[in-house]
Structure 1
Amino acid sequence: MRLAIGDVVRDRRDLVMGTVIGLDSGNSRLVVMHVPGQAVRVLPGQDLEIIRRYARPRTTRHRMVALAVVVGAVIAAYVAAHSVELLGGSWLLMGAAALGAYSGLDTVYRLGVRLAGTRRTRV
């Protein structure tokens, strides 16, 4: 299981939910969990189940980059479809070229977001 600080987890023994506030990646693989109403609990990773992953809120910068990628992908799709049309391709080939150009840029953006995302530690 991969956890990050901020994930919401549940203790399988007594079904208490809490937030991960620390990880020990040593030999013992312990997780420090904040439980409402109590201070903290230190539990082994195998006694936990993930309820909700932590995700950083999107900033204005992230939104602007996403918008720029969508606009760039639409322009690339148009250029690809228009190029196929000029070469005498059918509408099916134009659609395939447009879809390929759009999905190529979209895939690169999604991989970048995934690589720059929250770091997770195996416990």
Structure 2
Amino acid sequence: MYLAVGDVVRDRRDMALGIVARVYDVDRRVVLAVPGSVPRAVFAEDLDVVSRYTPPMTTRLRLMGAYFFLLALVASYVAAHSVHSLGGNSLLMVLAALGAYEPFGIGFRWYQRLTGPRRFRV
């Protein structure tokens, strides 16, 4: 199971909801911050993930998204125009445009994954 600091988890022993405060890789323990209680250490096997922590988009991430989107539009236009000038039909133009657009979408998703919160395997 992969956990990040800030994930909301449920302890199976008493069904208490808590937020992951710290992860210990050595003995597979996780420190939970339970509202109205003291922090407690729980084994990772006793947890169910309720929701993942996703930080809000920063200005830098928004700008990178716009940059990737504009590059993808230019690449898809060039691909579709090239197919059209070579005499391809409209279906081939659409497929070429999608094929040129998708690597930029994949690249942005990987950029988000690499710069996002770190997940620990416990």
Same fold (TM over 0.5): yes
Listed one character per residue, the Cα deviations across residues 21-55 of structure 1 (whole Å, up to 9, x for unaligned) are 111110x2111000000111111000011111111
Q: 2:13 is paired with a residue of what secondary structure? A: coil
Identity over the aligned pairs, expressed in percent? 48
Equivalent in the alignment of 2:72:
73
CA separation in 2, counterparts of 1:109 and 1:35? 35
Q: Which residue of 2 aligns with 1:47?
A: 46
RMSD, aligned α-carbons: 1.0
Matched letter for residue 15 of structure 2: L
Check if 1:13 corresponds to 2:36. no
Structural mapping, 1:87-106, within 5 Å? 87-106=86-105
Residue 3 of structure 1 aligns with which residue?
3
Q: Tell me what 1:108 maps to.
A: 107
1:120 matched to which residue of 2? 119
Unaligned runs of 5+ in 1: none
Moved over 3 A (4+): none
Q: Deviations over 1:60-116 (max 9, x none)?
A: 111111012112111111111001111111111111100100112111111221122
Amino acid at match of 2:20: V
Q: Which amino acid aligns with 1:19?
A: I
Match of 1:33 in 2: 32
Q: Match for residue 23 of structure 1?
A: 23
Q: Secondary structure at the match of 2:104?
A: helix
Aligned AA for 2:100?
Answer: A
- What SS does the corresponding residue of 1:50 show, helix, strand or coil? strand
